[in-house]
Homo-oligomer: A and B are copies of this chain.
């Protein structure tokens, strides 16, 4: 089944796999820029939110036939492996010379492994994880980290630039960009713990959390992470859910695995790992990760 929704003059066609909170606005930006898209999502119906020139494919094979560029944006390592392996997986159905741009938040070892497997099939793999929440994806304000073959980076540069405000490269190790992404998500979680402890301490000393958060967000900590999460933490505003505790924990788990492989004791990483594992243990998998962390700090403090 192919549903041609629209026909207009096109840039290079692209296959886009994974239409979740992040993938959907990213795919839309590519369509808006004139690329004809083959889209595939395991759960059907997600593509209904797209508009413009795209085809909904019902199998990976159908989505990849004759395509040179395949982008994947999925929830975790296991899902990516399911998409890549098996008779109808990317490794089997991508043509020789085609490029798999892998934008999911996954472990560096998964990237290293898949890169090798694509190479054996004379295909290319480019790690390209991103920083930014869905609204940043919609505004093409993502920060994109890349690592892998340099010639491939050149070939897809213009496509990546449609998705983000800047592309940072970290060399030829396919896992490198994933290291940066996971290190960054650890830093975000650590910042949440930092703010939650600081604001709770201030609250218990009689101060107003929001006033304290505003001060830091406007002065020495005037970075987006501190401004945005700072406001949520100060207000204890955990709705709507932007990023689930279960996904945050997944990243803490991947970072811990990475630290284990690198023989790197990381007590602050252990702290946020346990914070979110506690959220999961309490059944709050679907809570926002801000609640998973900051709610834990409040709970310990009896407020």
Instruction: Return chain B residues, CB-CB under 8 Å to A108.
Output: 205
Is A75 among interface residues, defined by CB-CB distance under 8 A?
no
Q: A264-B301, A265-B278 are in contact. Are A205 and B258 (CB under 8 A)?
A: yes
- A166 → chain B closest CB, angstroms: 7
Contact A267 B264 (CB under 8 A): no
The A contact surface, by secondary structure, is helix
Which of A9-17, A78-86, A89-97, A216-224 binds B? A216-224
Q: How long is the Cα–Cα vector from A190 to B201 in the complex, in angstroms? A: 14
Is A58 among interface residues, defined by CB-CB distance under 8 A?
no
Q: How would residues 124 to 149 of chain A score, 1 for a CB under 8 Å from any chain B CB and 0 otherwise?
A: 00000001000000000001010000
Is A207 among interface residues, defined by CB-CB distance under 8 A?
yes
Considering only CB atoms, which chain B residue lies closest to A147 in the complex? B207
Q: How would residues 273 to 303 of chain A score, 1 for a CB under 8 Å from any chain B CB and 0 otherwise?
A: 1110110111100000000000000001111
Considering only CB atoms, which chain B residue lies closest to A205 in the complex? B179
Contact B302 A166 (CB under 8 A): no
Considering only CB atoms, which chain B residue lies closest to A212 in the complex? B180
Q: How would residues 221 to 245 of chain A score, 1 for a CB under 8 Å from any chain B CB and 0 otherwise?
A: 1111110000000000000000000
Which of A33-41, A44-52, A66-74, A191-199 binds B? A191-199
Q: How long is the Cα–Cα vector from A220 to B263 in the complex, in angstroms? A: 27
Contact B220 A221 (CB under 8 A): no
- A220 → chain B closest CB, angstroms: 5
Is A156 among interface residues, defined by CB-CB distance under 8 A?
no
Contact B268 A270 (CB under 8 A): no
Instruction: Return chain B residues, CB-CB under 8 Å to A183.
Output: 198-199, 201-202, 212
Q: How long is the Cα–Cα vector from A184 to B226 in the complex, in angstroms? A: 12
Q: A220: which of B188, B207, B255, B264 is its contact (CB, 8 Å)?
A: B188
Q: A198: which of B173, B187, B282 is its contact (CB, 8 Å)?
A: B187
Closest 9 CB pairs of A and B: A281-B302, A204-B262, A223-B223, A265-B274, A270-B270, A282-B302, A190-B194, A263-B281, A183-B198
- 26 sampled A-B residue pairs with Cβ under 8 A: A143-B219, A166-B218, A166-B219, A170-B211, A171-B207, A176-B206, A176-B207, A179-B205, A184-B216, A187-B195, A187-B198, A187-B216, A190-B190, A194-B268, A197-B264, A204-B262, A204-B263, A204-B264, A220-B224, A263-B280, A264-B277, A265-B300, A265-B301, A270-B270, A270-B274, A278-B302
